[in-house]
Amino acid sequence: MGLMSRFNMIVKSKASKMLDKAEDPRETLDYSYEKQLEMLQKVRRGVADVATSKKRLELQASKLEQSVAKLDTQARTALQQNREDLARVALERKKGVQIQLQSLDEQRAQLQTEQDKLVVAEQRLTAKVEAFRTRKETIKAQYTAAEAQTKIGEAITGVSEDMADVGLAIERAENKTETMRARAGAIDELIESGVLEDVTDSRDSIDRELEQISVAGGVEDELTRLKAELGAGDGAAGQIESGEEKP
């Protein structure tokens, strides 16, 4: 059996699930129309879900881009202070973040494709549902019960297949966003655990080391200045504040 037949069976089986028949065939029309409207809501929600997931990836990417800029600055600062070891650590981390960024970009592009497909699916189904609404009213107004039965069968079989088609697109997009969410969650965890240095959060170890170097340098400078002052014979410099007295 070729692929065309296999896919046909899948769509037919999904479509048949949407073919619940009412007692009065004319009611079947209204029932199917309601289902179509529900499916339209579903595909619109699907578009919104994909957009939300994409937004999350974009936020993460912008955080990671900040990390790259920060690590770059750290590497320069470290080199200026002759700390090639620290500069190396910063550059290694930068490389790691850049790899994550690249994968985020790829995922974002995939979600964009899914979103575009769902938007097209929504437009198609909207046109179909509108055509069905018109057909439904025509059938109700013009045909005798026997004629109506045939016309109703055709219209509903046709539109059910469209709904199955859109249903598959929604399922696919949901699967993709689910996978993305899991990956996005993993990156969030990495950022939180400090592996990927979130710049909006507390400072990382490179920062602390650089700060210590700068603190040490500052203390030396201050000592030199104080010594110079004392050497100049200024007695006030000896005044040291005492702590709180106990009662």
Partner 1 sequence: MIVRILGEGQYRLDDAAFAKAGEFDDRVQAAAEAGDEAAFAAALSELLDVITASGTELAADEFEGSDAVIPGHGTTLAEARDLLSSEGLIPN
Q: What is the DSSP string of 107-156?
A: HHHHHHHHHHHHHHHHHHHHHHHHHHHHHHHHHHHH--HHHHHHHHHHHH
**What is the chain's length?**
247
Residue 13 to residue 8: CA distance in whole angstroms:
8
Residue 228 to residue 234: CA distance in whole angstroms:
10
Q: Are 184 and 57 in contact (CB under 8 A)?
A: yes
Query: At 9, phi and psi to the nearest 5?
Result: -65, -40
Q: How far is the CB of 107 from partner 1 (least distance, A)?
A: 15
Q: How far is the CB of 183 from partner 1 (least distance, A)?
A: 17
Nearer to partner 1, 9 or 223 (CB): 9
Nearer to partner 1, 48 or 127 (CB): 127
Nearer to partner 1, 13 or 214 (CB): 13
Nearer to partner 1, 103 or 134 (CB): 134
- Residues making contact with partner 1 (CB under 8 A): 2-13, 15, 113, 117, 120-121, 124, 127-128, 130-132, 134-135, 154-159, 161, 165, 168-169, 171-172, 175
Q: How far is the CB of 134 from partner 1 (least distance, A)?
A: 7
Q: How far is the CB of 120 from partner 1 (least distance, A)?
A: 7
Q: How far is the CB of 19 from partner 1 (least distance, A)?
A: 11
Nearer to partner 1, 36 or 74 (CB): 36
Q: How far is the CB of 192 from partner 1 (least distance, A)?
A: 31
Residue 44 in tokens: 């619109």
Residue 228 in tokens: 């110079």
Nearer to partner 1, 4 or 236 (CB): 4
Give the H or E element holding residue 175.
helix 145-192
**CA within 13 Å, CB half, 29:** 23
